[in-house]
Amino acid sequence: MALRYHYLMRIGIIGGGQLGKMLALKAKAMGFHVSILDPYPHAPAALIADRHILGSVHDTRKLRELVDACDITTFDLEDINADALEALEKEGHHIHPSPGLLKIIQDKFVQKQFLADKGIPVPRFQAVDEPTPEAFAAFGYPLVQKLRRGGYDGRGVAVLESAAQVDDHLPGPSMLEEKVEIEKELALMVARSSKGQLKCHPLVEMVFDPEANICDVVMAPALVNKAQEEESIRIASQAIEALEGVGIFGVELFLTRDGRILLNEIAPRTHNSGHFTIEACITDQFEQHLRSVAGLPLGATDLLIPAVMVNLLGAPEVKGKPSILGMREAMDIPGLSFHLYGKAETRPFRKMGHITIVDHDVHQAREKAQRARQILKVTVQN
């Protein structure tokens, strides 16, 4: 049955983390009724949603309960029960992005193979059922080992420079990738509607914390040349077209030292690299996602002002009730906006919130962000 936009459309979100929370906030502003499925009573999105179904994102019964109560269902994480969703989709429920696409994305090797088959440039890769020193040696160092399923925010990824680091490898079915000489990590939010309309947000640069392999800072616009920008847009758009994706997608790319653009991975959802769009773009990533899954025209993605987003990560050494140090001083910086996700506990490198700094001068924005980053600390209450 074709989906028709109507007053007080009911949207279901599988997962209630920070992405679900920000999506729910936008959905409420746009007049949607919001239900979430999340196992934690204190999930960030539970603060906003009209209805919270408490339960696992793998639980077939709970997924049915959510999908039955909604006109459209989407998700804020990819490690969910795609088989159950596929069965629900066959019954006629509207689930976007589609469970079939989700299955391709969930397995890093299947995803890479799909992209490579479509002619999209990716690093050299290979699947290994059992990661052994022999398998690593045969593939060749330096390499990056990635668990095929379930990894996120650098968990599930091990960089092995040489055989001397073999003890740092992870157990489980994996994909090996050549370690790319990265000049810059780039990301592009690509939205595609059910009618096939496609729009990209501005290309951004991601900077990673070297210790945790987690995205730390995002800068918009990316300072790359026109050809590199166009190539990034071409590759990312081609990937989303090939997947026939409906929704918004975070496409992670590498600009290599020798000037090539390679696709790293695709997140089938809103993405950390798109948070800056809340303050800096005409249509933010959350509204764009809602427009695409609801079958509405996509919004304009123009960058109104340069922006830098800084993640507020839990301090490496502590765990407990969170406390943010330096908030008053940071808020004195002109153009700074605060987002705290409302998580009840901080843990090492956990994403607890973010700030976005906008400035008409891109270098000023970067400088202010550096200052804010030094001032702000997520620690624990005494």
Q: Are 101 and 147 in contact (CB under 8 A)?
A: no
**Per CB under 6 A, does 107 bind ligand ADP?**
no
Please count the residues of this chain forming the interface with ligand ADP, following the rule CB under 6 A: 19
Candidates 71-79, 95-103, 146-154, 304-312; binding stretch for ligand ADP (CB under 6 A): 146-154
Q: In the complex, which residue's CB is closest to Mg ion? A: 252
Stretch that binds ligand ADP, among 77-85, 175-183, 193-201, 311-319 (CB under 6 A): 175-183
| b/e code 26-48 from CB counts within 10 Å (16+ = b) | bbeeeebbbbbbbeeeebbbbeb
Q: Which of ligand ADP, Mg ion, none does residue 103 bind to, with CB < 5 to 8 Å depending on kind?
A: none
Does 274 interact with ligand ADP (rule: CB under 6 A)? Answer: no
Segment lying near ligand ADP (by CB under 6 A), choices 147-155, 195-203, 305-313, 324-332: 147-155
Between 127 and 157, name the residue whose CB sits nearer to ligand ADP: 157
123 binds ligand ADP (CB under 6 A): yes
Structure tokens at 147: 């668990």
Listing DSSP states for 116-147 in one string gives: HHTT-----EEEESS--HHHHHHH-SSEEEEE
Q: Does residue 264 belong to the site contacting ligand ADP (CB under 6 A)?
A: yes
Question: Site mask, Mg ion, residues 244-263, x = CB under 5 A?
Answer: --------x-----------
Strands 261-267 and 336-340: unpaired
Select the residue interacting with ligand ADP from 63, 180, 203, 251 (CB under 6 A).
Answer: 180
Closer of 94 and 201 to Mg ion (Cβ): 201
Residues 181, 278: Cα–Cα separation, whole Å: 32
CB 53 within 8 A of CB 71: no
Q: Is 40 in the site for ligand ADP (CB under 6 A)?
A: no
DSSP at 97 = S
CA atoms within 13 A on the CB side of 195: 11
Residue 218 touching ligand ADP (CB under 6 A): no
Helix, strand and coil in the chain, % to nearest 5: 30, 30, 40
Please give the order of strands across the beta sheet that includes 72-75.
51-54, 33-38, 10-14, 72-75, 94-95
Q: Does 157 bind ligand ADP (CB under 6 A)?
A: yes
Beta bridge partners of 311: 354
Quick check: helix, strand or coil at residue 213?
A: coil
Q: Check binding of 168 to ligand ADP (CB under 6 A).
A: no
Pick between residue 5 and residue 152 the one whose CB is nearest to ligand ADP. 152
Q: Is residue 17 a contact residue for ligand ADP (CB under 6 A)?
A: no
Note the residues at the interface with Mg ion (CB under 5 A).
252
